[in-house]
Amino acid sequence: MKTRARNLEEPAVASMEALGFKLDEVPRWNCCGAVYSLADDDLIHQVAPVRNLIRVKKQGKTELVTLCAFCLNTLKRANLLMRQDAEKRNTLNDFVDEGIDYGGEVKVVHLLEVLRDEIGWEALSQKVKLPLQELKVAPYYGCTLLRPREVAIDNVEDPTILGNFLKALGANPVDFPESTRCCGSYQVVSSPHDISEYTRPILSSASGHGAEALVLTCPLCDYNLGRGQKELTKKGSGFKEIPLFYFTQLLALALGRGPAASGSCSGAGSPGMSF
């Protein structure tokens, strides 16, 4: 977020300022580990997300807002573990040397939830200075905002949060059936050449349904879709690249904070569409 996904963070901070909110960065935050550990006995990998949550509690704050979908998933699942499993909670509290005990008190939310639940789509739309002129944008959710069910920020089968967000900005959301299909995720590390085929159905479906751009929430989706479409273009067969935007970039643009906040880059492999 501080280097490779600055175009996710910086427009978020500027946009929230425009909406009258100040985002306070967690002091001494550490990487949450990116993926939630799925093994029952693997508590050591819960330490990183739990430590972040404890630091939020120590600040006297009750809510942690994430911009990255992976962070949301890992932090929210670790938080649930601390709430629901007394034995593991005790073990982790004994191990993590942060001075206070933690029991899942902090609420973990994604910025989209703040926009939906605390500001509201109607109020957001009234703050829009530069409506997106019915730009046809396909909302791409990927995996981690919606799965597993217990941490989903919206209906798992029929999510609407990104579509409603786009409508509030004056864009025209384009429904497409692959909006929750996995982009290949960390498989890009072990099987980079498979990524184009992971991303082909997503990109083709979005374009096929008339989308002029894709909106994303996750830096790994951004990388994989960008890389995938570059490779698919090289392979030929008439594949056409489509611009990729973080939701925060479109937000900043619509709120009139685009030029300062969004920079000129719009994704690793996105065709040029600078602000």
Partner 1 sequence: MSVTISSKRLHREFVKKVKELSGQNLKLCYQCGLCTGNCPAAVNMDISPRRIIELARLGLEEEIATSKTVWVCASCLACAVNCPRGFDLSKLMEAIRLLTLRKNVDHIRPEDIPQQERCDLPQIAMVSGLRKFTG
Residue 87 is a binding residue for partner 1 (CB under 8 A): no
Q: Which stretch binds partner 1 (CB under 8 A): 89-97, 191-199, 207-215, 245-253?
A: 191-199
Rounded CA-CA distance 227/270 in Å is 8
In the complex, minimum distance from the CB of residue 118 to partner 1, in angstroms, rounded to a whole number: 27
Quote the tokens at residue 146: 């919606």
Rounded CA-CA distance 220/93 in Å is 31
Residue 219 is a binding residue for partner 1 (CB under 8 A): yes
Q: Which stretch binds partner 1 (CB under 8 A): 28-36, 91-99, 109-117, 167-175?
A: 28-36
Residue 38 is a binding residue for partner 1 (CB under 8 A): yes
**Contact pick of 65, 92, 145, 188 for partner 1 (by CB under 8 A):** 188
**Contact pick of 223, 239, 245, 246 for partner 1 (by CB under 8 A):** 223
Neighbouring residues of 87: CB distance < 8 A, sequence distance ≥ 6: none
**Contact pick of 20, 27, 42, 158 for partner 1 (by CB under 8 A):** 42
In the complex, minimum distance from the CB of residue 181 to partner 1, in angstroms, rounded to a whole number: 5
**Contact pick of 93, 172, 187, 204 for partner 1 (by CB under 8 A):** 187
3-state secondary structure string across the chain: CCCCCHHHHHHHHHHHHHCCCCCCCCCCCCCCCCCCCCCCCCCHHHHHHHHHHHHHHHCCCCEEEECCHHHHHHHHHHHHHHHHCHHHHHHHHHHCCCCCCCCCCCEEEEHHHHHHHHHCHHHHHHHCCCCCCCCEEEECCCCCCCCCHHHCCCCCCCCCHHHHHHHHCCCEECCCCCCCCCCCCCHHHHCHHHHHHHHHHHHHHHHHCCCCEEEECCHHHHHHHHHHHHHHHHHCCCCCCCCEEEHHHHHHHHCCCHHHHCCCCCCCCCCCCCC
Residue 40 is a binding residue for partner 1 (CB under 8 A): yes
**Contact pick of 7, 10, 12, 33 for partner 1 (by CB under 8 A):** 33
Question: Is residue 198 within 8 Å of 182, Cβ to Cβ?
Answer: yes
Residue 3 is a binding residue for partner 1 (CB under 8 A): yes
Residue 66 is a binding residue for partner 1 (CB under 8 A): no
**String marking each residue 134-173 x if it binds partner 1 according to CB under 8 A:** ---------x--xxxx------x-----------------
**Contact pick of 59, 90, 155, 191 for partner 1 (by CB under 8 A):** 191
Q: Which stretch binds partner 1 (CB under 8 A): 34-42, 109-117, 132-140, 163-171?
A: 34-42
Residue 190 is a binding residue for partner 1 (CB under 8 A): yes
The residue ranges that bind partner 1 (CB under 8 A) are 3-5, 31, 33-35, 37-42, 45, 68, 70, 143, 146-149, 156, 180-182, 184-192, 194, 197-198, 201, 218-220, 223, 268
